[in-house]
Amino acid sequence: MSRHHPPEDVLMAYAAGSLPEPHSLVVATHLSLCPACRQTMTGLDALGGAMLDDLSPTLMEADSLDRLMARLEEPAPPKAPPAPTDSVLPSPLRAYVGRGIENVAWKKLGRGIEEFRLPIPNTDGYTTRLVRVAAGRDIPSHSHDGDELTLVLAGGFTDGGENYRRGDVAGADPTVHHTPVADADGVCICLIVTEGKLRFSGPFGPLLSYFRG
């Protein structure tokens, strides 16, 4: 059971389809792990449906109704087979990674940290990565140019006195300067969306410069 959820305005933006792709992926992955937020989404979808019902008499001109009916009669496009789920990557994320967690081509960054960049175009200045941190290791003290959104997939970490485990979502904005530490009970794997560049400030800053945007 997740203890740290995306804020409701983020869920609403997701329901409205207005989140950038990397953030949509984080929310979709969280939803696959969090019954409570799925419940919230059901309520939001019902709300959205009711609003559409209210709008439909004025929005639907006669010819658009004809077009809608014609479209409904067309055969539905074949659905892509659902991506398989493995023990770490829920299906929305598995589809992006394109392989199981055991076959991810990790790139070593040093100090027990590895990353895999997801093939999502960096058009809005966002970088989307899987990051794997050895048990008990920290990500060196850093701040950000922009927001950072993290979803735990395996293991856990502690940051600012809060502990985050599988399914939990952590957000940080440019005012946050932090040193997340992986839990000691095993490797920690996270999906992390970063806006702009990370700014490392500690003695290991230069070592991890390739972590930047």
| Residue recorded with tokens 């809608």 | 68
| Residue recorded with tokens 């997701």 | 14
Residue 94 Cβ, how far from Zn ion at the closest point, in Å?
19
**152 near Zn ion, judged by CB under 5 A:** no
Residue 6 Cβ, how far from Zn ion at the closest point, in Å?
7
**149 near Zn ion, judged by CB under 5 A:** no
Report the run of H or E that residue 148 belongs to, with start and end.
strand 148-154
Rounded Cα–Cα distance for residues 34 and 54 (Å)? 31
Site string for Zn ion, 34-63 (x = CB under 5 A): x--x--------------------------
As given in the structure block, the two tokens for residue 181 are: 């530490």
Residue 167 Cβ, how far from Zn ion at the closest point, in Å?
7
Strands lying side by side in the sheet with 169-172: 107-110, 113-117, 126-133, 188-195, 148-154, 169-172
As given in the structure block, the two tokens for residue 149 are: 């959104």
Q: Which of residues 4-33 bind Zn ion (CB under 5 A)?
A: 5
**2 near Zn ion, judged by CB under 5 A:** yes
**109 near Zn ion, judged by CB under 5 A:** no
Rounded Cα–Cα distance for residues 18 and 33 (Å)? 21
Residue 70 Cβ, how far from Zn ion at the closest point, in Å?
39
Residue 2 Cβ, how far from Zn ion at the closest point, in Å?
5
As given in the structure block, the two tokens for residue 58 are: 């004025």
Nearer to Zn ion, 138 or 168 (CB): 168
- Write out the residues near Zn ion by the rule CB under 5 A: 2, 5, 34, 37
